[in-house]
Structure 1
Amino acid sequence: MPVLIEPTTALHASWLAAHDEWGPGLHEDGFGLAASDDVRSPAGFHAWVTRLTSGSAPASAGATGPTYRWVVEGDEVLGGIALRTGPRDLVLRMGHIGFGIRPSARRRGVAAWALGRMLTEAASQGLDRVLLVCEAGNTASAATIEALGGVLEDAPHAHDDVRRFWVTTL
């Protein structure tokens, strides 16, 4: 049974295995990974995890930084999920919630389970509805979002390569 946990340096090897499974690039939404983050070395990984857990990620006045959680089963990192509450331009571009599940853990309901938990967290932070954004061709993420009540935004937007969904929190 998976659990959501705060990022931890204790799972460095497991996180790297998940990261390597995705292949090169920055495509694990939900992990708060930036191109400049050194996640290979123990010191770099520690600095990255400290940034994620300290709330030092950017936030607007009155908003908290993102809440990052890892989806873990036993000692295996299955994925990550983030709740972003500010700044507004970041939320409008990337969504309130972003998630990524490692390829070997997909098609097991892990993403829907984690998204359901994060919707509850969003409600506890006072959000009545949240925006989720996925690539237009990512039918699996779109189906997961729709299964949890996501309604496709019909307003035109500048990025036709993405789909934008609004979800009422639980």
Structure 2
Amino acid sequence: MPTLIAPTIEVRSSFLAAMREFEAETGGADNDNSMVGEEMREYAAAWETEDGFRAYLARLREAEDERTPWQDGSVGCTTLWWVEDTEYVGRIAIRHELSPGLLEVGGHIGYDVRPSARRRGHATALLRAAFPHIRALGIDKALITCDTGNVASRKVIEACGGVLEDERHGKLRYWVDPS
């Protein structure tokens, strides 16, 4: 059974294989605004070297630090990887607060499961496993959004207690109590 861990160099090979799966799925398109799409555009070249990957991991750790100055509307974010042994299965990003943009379309939580590991309950287990981390950040109600047509994500959010509030900008907005 996978567990949540802090991002680590030990999973690099499997992480890179997962990113290749995502790239094959989306083609790395510029209009892919998912966490994976944005990170692939920003970091993929760096990931190819061990030093570049370590710099990426340092950036993820820096994003957790509340002292990090944000200038572009970003907020603090804790990233955890869903890993079985050294096999990267997916990840969750827990945003520490909601900026105006995140309140509309992004929410507190973003998660993804590599394509080869989907339809096995990983996303639901991953989200549930993150509840203690969400609570530890002082988030009593977490906003999770998904595209209106993303039935799989809707089912995950609802299975984890998500209550639909509304639809905005093509996104369904759910509130989840992580207790």
TM-score by length of 2: 0.81
CA 1:71 to 1:131, structure 2 compared with 1: closer, same or farther past 3 Å? same
Amino acid at match of 2:80: R
CA 1:76 to 1:14, structure 2 compared with 1: closer, same or farther past 3 Å? same
CA 1:30 to 1:131, structure 2 compared with 1: closer, same or farther past 3 Å? farther
User: 1:31: how far off?
Assistant: 9.6
CA 1:20 to 1:120, structure 2 compared with 1: closer, same or farther past 3 Å? same
What runs of 5+ residues in structure 2 fail to find an aligned partner?
none
Counterpart in 2 of 1:6? 6
User: 1:163: how far off?
Assistant: 1.3
CA 1:87 to 1:166, structure 2 compared with 1: closer, same or farther past 3 Å? closer
C-alpha distance in 2 between matches for 1:30 and 1:4: 18
C-alpha distance in 1 between matches for 2:36 and 2:22: 13
- What SS class does the counterpart of residue 36 from structure 1 fall into? helix
Query: Does 2:77 align with 1:69?
Result: no
In the TM superposition, what whole-angstrom CA distance separates every residue of 1:14-66 from its partner, at most 9, and x where no partner exists?
10001111123256647982632232222221111111023356659xxx721
User: 1:81: how far off?
Assistant: 0.5
Counterpart in 1 of 2:140? 128
Structure 1 runs of 4+ with >6 Å offset: none
C-alpha distance in 1 between matches for 2:140 and 2:132: 10
Amino acid at match of 2:177: T
Q: Are the equivalent residues in 1 in contact too, given 2:92–2:111 (CA < 8 A)? A: yes
Amino acid at match of 1:95: G
Aligned residues with identical type, % of pairs: 39
- What SS class does the counterpart of residue 58 from structure 2 fall into? helix
Identify the match of residue 129 of structure 2 among 117, 134, 138.
Answer: 117
Alignment of 1:1-170 (within 5 A): 1-23=1-23, 24-25=27-28, 29=35, 33=39, 35-37=41-43, 38-54=46-62, 55=64, 65-86=76-97, 88-92=99-103, 93-154=105-166, 157=168, 159=169, 161-170=170-179
Q: Are the equivalent residues in 1 in contact too, given 2:144–2:175 (CA < 8 A)? A: yes
User: 1:120: how far off?
Assistant: 2.2
CA 1:31 to 1:95, structure 2 compared with 1: closer, same or farther past 3 Å? farther
Count how many residue pairs are aligned between Structure 1 and Structure 2.
Answer: 164
Quick check: which one's helix share is greater? 2
- What SS class does the counterpart of residue 33 from structure 1 fall into? helix
C-alpha distance in 2 between matches for 1:58 and 1:94: 20
CA 1:59 to 1:145, structure 2 compared with 1: closer, same or farther past 3 Å? farther
- What SS class does the counterpart of residue 137 from structure 1 fall into? coil
C-alpha distance in 2 between matches for 1:32 and 1:73: 25
